[in-house]
Structure 1
Amino acid sequence: MANRNRAAQLPTDDTSNPYFLHPSDNPGIILVPQQLTGSNYVAWSRSFSTALLAKNKLVFVDGSILRPARDDLLYQPWIRCNSMVISWLRNSVSPQICSSIMYLDDAYAIRYDLKERFSTCDPTRIYQLMQQLMSLSQGSSDVNTYFTNLRIV
């Protein structure tokens, strides 16, 4: 019952409300410049989280706002926002990865699935990173370029 009262007090035109959708928000928006391909999960995740935070929608993928009961007044706004975030997620991953999440209907479940698959420690990737780090030298690069390359590895 408290949830119902809260929903009545939070108008959908309140821009600070996570259920607010701006008129320019649409399912075709691409929020991050680089698609998730698997090996770039950490950079993609940070970019995507930042974009969702700016849109006040991070709560739909971090588990802060879970699907309300069907009779809850927030159910329909949650469905709309969750669907929008799912569209943004699908637009930000490679076609192959998209096909693997196509039938998940909860943005939190999709984000959890992607995190479980792509953020795990891979001994091969760790070895590759160590090799890149060991072979990195400043050479003819200026200090800023060398430092940037060092941070990228």
Structure 2
Amino acid sequence: MDDNTPDSLTPHSSNSPGLVLISKPLEGHNYGQWSRSMRIALSDKNKLGFIDGTITPLASIDTKFAVWQRCNDMVLSWILQSLNPDIASSVFYCTSASMVWNDLKDRFSQSNDSRIFQIRQEIAEHQ
């Protein structure tokens, strides 16, 4: 589904690249909580599509490319500001919000399996 709708691409006056959307930055171990918080915040700003693939990148010759680029850069800025500085530096040169989102998901969401196993072991030991 292509959701490059005017409303999704409209930067609102209450939105700025310097806006901090969530209070706890991604440290790695808190990926699940961070991801959920960011998804809620981006949904509220009508920009969730920039990370979930429903707002697709436009070709540079498209008349709406500049608007798409400005919104993508704003979402990218919000994500970068919600990261631990070391993590932010590792994705700083990515050119799209979805690229950063997918990179972070690939790196940090996989560690949950080992953590779930560890918690289950601890629960079993205490029963």
Q: Scaled by the length of structure 1, what TM-score is found?
A: 0.73
Alignment of 1:1-150 (within 5 A): 10=6, 17-122=7-112, 124-134=114-124
- Structure 1: where are the runs of 5+ without partners? 1-6, 11-16, 138-153
Q: Give the alignment's Cα RMSD to 1 decimal.
A: 2.2
User: Separation in 2 of the partners of 1:58 and 1:88?
Assistant: 12
Q: Secondary structure at the match of 1:73?
A: coil
For structure 2, the residue ranges without an aligned partner over 5 or more in a row are none
Higher RCO, 1 or 2 (CA under 8 Å, sep at least 6)? 2
- Which of these two proteins has the greater Rg computed from alpha carbons? 1
Give the TM-score taking structure 2 as reference length: 0.87
Count of equivalent residues: 124
1:53-91 Cα shifts (integer Å, max 9, x gaps): 000000011111121111111201100000000000000
Instruction: For 2:126 and 2:22, locate their aligned partners in 1 and report how far apart those are by CA, in whole Å.
Output: 29
- Distance of 2:126 and 2:55 partners within structure 1: 44
In 2, distance between residues paired with 1:135 and 1:74?
58
Q: Which residue of 2 aligns with 1:149?
A: none
SS class of match (1:61): helix
Q: CA deviation at 1:24?
A: 2.2
